[in-house]
């Protein structure tokens, strides 16, 4: 933002007054910080410092750049501001310390997953073979979570053309859904078929994809023009790093309580391995009811549940959070009975 040099803001030295520069810097920091906060997060200045480097004359420009405002707990953030004159010289540099409070944050904006997917509840109904039919996927999404299509289940178990099945889901709900993409390359025919499935899903409006068993790069590249989001199943850090090298936007941490292809680590141990990688982490395994969902949120770990039959991959629910101070009451409110029923195998 800019400040014009005029008589009312000058001091006795015929330059812009120090307090005018301070007001300019504080306002610039406020615009940068508050515009970057999710709806419901409040901010207030708790500290301010400024250094005056040169007499300020002429049109002045204050610039403040902020990043990393993913506020899920109360925290302080320092915003630096540079004030330059028309010659480009820095006449003052300021630092404003802002306290950001998410106490009024809307639940749907509290978690990275819900913000990315535009859903209300940080819960994913994992793709299941043979359990995932169109009605199950639609029920989870309609209840505020994210239902994920298992294309092979839809086609070969329930006898639906993939496009017809996706349109059936859309007739039931207009809420976001996802699709599972197995990306292993052992069969050229199978891989070509998955390419066709992804193209059909994009044409039918699917924008969330869960990849597993391979390099996700081709999926990321294919969905990027449509602003698609890709999360990748991992069981340990080395696979997470490979997935991130492939461009994925988040990780699904498959722990040792997941159905089917379970990982070797507990939910807590796997979360500690992955938490510092800079992307949302979804915990997969050990969640089958509301109490388990709430426990996952309390330990700041996303969750995916396993249905009673653990002899096959029956993952049915996933949650996500990066908050260290989760509200169990709020989560129980948003985890509706219909969502709870939808996240069990039929």
Please identify, among 101, 130, 152, the residue that sits at the C-terminal boundary of a domain.
Answer: 101
Residue 341, pLDDT > 50, answer: no
Q: Do residues 114 and 316 make contact, with C-beta atoms less than 8 angstroms apart?
A: no
* Residue pLDDT, tens place only, 103-123: 666 666 667 888 889 898 889
**Domain containing residue 315: CATH number:** 3.20.20.70
Same domain, 112 and 181: yes
**Euclidean distance between CA atoms 63 and 55, whole angstroms:** 18
167 and 202 inside one domain: yes
Instruction: Tell me: do 242 and 268 sit in the same domain.
Output: yes
* Model pLDDT, residue 329: 23
**Residue 183 Cα distances to 215, 233, 254, 333, angstroms:** 7, 11, 17, 37
The b-or-e profile of 16-44 (16+ CB within 10 A means b, else e) is beeebbbebbbbbbbebbeebbbebbebe
Which H or E run contains 167?
Answer: helix 162-172
Q: Report residue 345's pLDDT band, with 50, 70 and 90 as the boundaries.
A: very low
> Are residues 307 and 259 in contact, defined by beta-carbon separation less than 8 angstroms?
yes
Residues 272 and 333 in one domain: yes
62 and 31 within one domain: yes
List the CATH number of the domain containing 34: 3.10.129.10
Considering only residues 218 and 76, tell me which one the structure prediction assigns the higher pLDDT. 218
CA dihedral 224, 40, 297, 70 (to 10 degrees): 50
One domain, residues 262 and 203: yes
CA nearest neighbour of 94 among 117, 70, 62: 62
Q: Does residue 91 have a pLDDT over 50? A: yes
pLDDT for 343 equals 33
Q: What are phi and psi of 91, to 5 degrees?
A: -95, -20
**228 and 316 in a common domain:** yes
For residues 228-255, average pLDDT: 94
Written as six digits, the tokens of 235 are 């069981």
Instruction: Considering only residues 102 and 308, tell me which one the structure prediction assigns the higher pLDDT.
Output: 102
Tokens of 106: 């809307």
State whether 223 and 299 are in the same domain: yes
- pLDDT, greater one: 302 or 9: 9
Count, residues in the chain: 346
Q: Verify cis geometry, omega within 30 degrees of 0, for the bond prior to 130.
A: yes
Using only the alpha carbons of the chain, give its radius of gyration.
25
Work out the average pLDDT over 34-59.
Answer: 87
Is-contact 118 336, C-beta < 8 A?
no
CA–CA separation, 269 and 240 (whole Å): 14
The three-class DSSP label of residue 24 is helix
Residue 29 phi/psi, 5° resolution?
A: -65, -40
Same domain, 237 and 129: yes
User: Residues 117, 187: one domain?
Assistant: yes
Q: Give percent of the chain with pLDDT exceeding 90.
A: 54
| Chain centre to alpha carbon of residue 176 | 14
Q: For 34-49, what is the mean pLDDT?
A: 83
Chain segment 248-285, per-residue pLDDT in tens: 999 999 999 887 778 889 988 998 899 889 898 888 88
Token pair for 271? 């979360």
Helices (H), ranges, 173-286: 188-203, 217-223, 237-245, 267-274
Whether residue 145 sits in one domain with residue 111 = yes
Q: Are both 47 and 155 inside the same structural domain?
A: no
Residue 275 confidence (pLDDT): 84
Given 51, 75, 101, the domain boundary residue is 101
Give the total number of structural domains in the chain: 2
State which residues form the domain around 304.
107-342
Which DSSP helix (H) or strand (E) runs through 141? helix 134-142
pLDDT at 195 over 60: yes
| Residue 236 Cα distances to 45, 220, 273, angstroms | 41, 21, 7
Task: Examine the fold and report which residue of 48, 69, 101 is the final residue of a domain before the chain moves on.
Answer: 101
- Maximal C-alpha separation, the chain: 84
């Amino acid at each position: 933002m800019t400040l014009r040099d005029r008589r009312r803001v000058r001091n006795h030295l015929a330059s812009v007054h120090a307090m005018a520069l301070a007001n300019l810097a504080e306002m610039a920091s406020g615009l940068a910080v508050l515009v970057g906060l999710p709806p419901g997060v409040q901010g207030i200045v708790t500290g301010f410092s400024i250094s005056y480097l040169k007499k300020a004359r002429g049109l002045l420009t204050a610039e403040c750049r902020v990043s990393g405002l993913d506020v899920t707990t109360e925290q302080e953030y320092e915003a630096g501001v540079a004030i330059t004159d028309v010659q480009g010289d820095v006449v003052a540099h300021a630092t404003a310390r802002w306290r950001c409070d998410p106490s009024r944050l809307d639940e749907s904006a509290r978690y990275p997953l819900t913000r990315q997917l535009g859903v209300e509840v940080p819960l994913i109904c994992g793709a299941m073979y043979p359990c995932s039919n169109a009605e199950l996927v639609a029920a989870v999404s309609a209840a505020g979570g994210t239902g994920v299509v298992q294309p092979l289940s839809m086609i070969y178990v329930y006898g639906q053309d993939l496009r017809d099945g996706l349109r059936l889901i859309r007739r039931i709900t207009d809420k976001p859904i996802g699709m599972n993409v197995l990306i292993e390359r052992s069969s050229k025919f199978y891989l070509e078929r998955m390419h066709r499935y992804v193209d059909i899903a994009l044409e039918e409006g699917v924008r969330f994809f869960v990849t597993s068993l391979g390099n996700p790069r081709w999926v990321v590249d294919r969905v990027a023009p449509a602003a698609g989001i890709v999360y990748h199943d991992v069981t340990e850090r080395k696979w997470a790093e490979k997935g991130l090298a492939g461009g994925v936007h988040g990780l699904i941490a498959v722990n040792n309580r997941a159905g089917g292809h379970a990982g070797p680590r507990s939910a807590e141990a796997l979360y500690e391995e992955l938490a510092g990688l800079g992307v949302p982490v979804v915990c997969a395994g050990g969640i089958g009811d509301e109490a388990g969902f709430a426990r996952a949120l309390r330990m700041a770990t996303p969750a995916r549940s396993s249905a009673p039959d653990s002899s096959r991959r029956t993952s049915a629910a996933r949650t996500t959070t990066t908050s260290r101070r989760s509200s169990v009451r709020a989560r129980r409110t948003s985890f509706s009975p219909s969502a709870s029923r939808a996240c069990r195998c039929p």
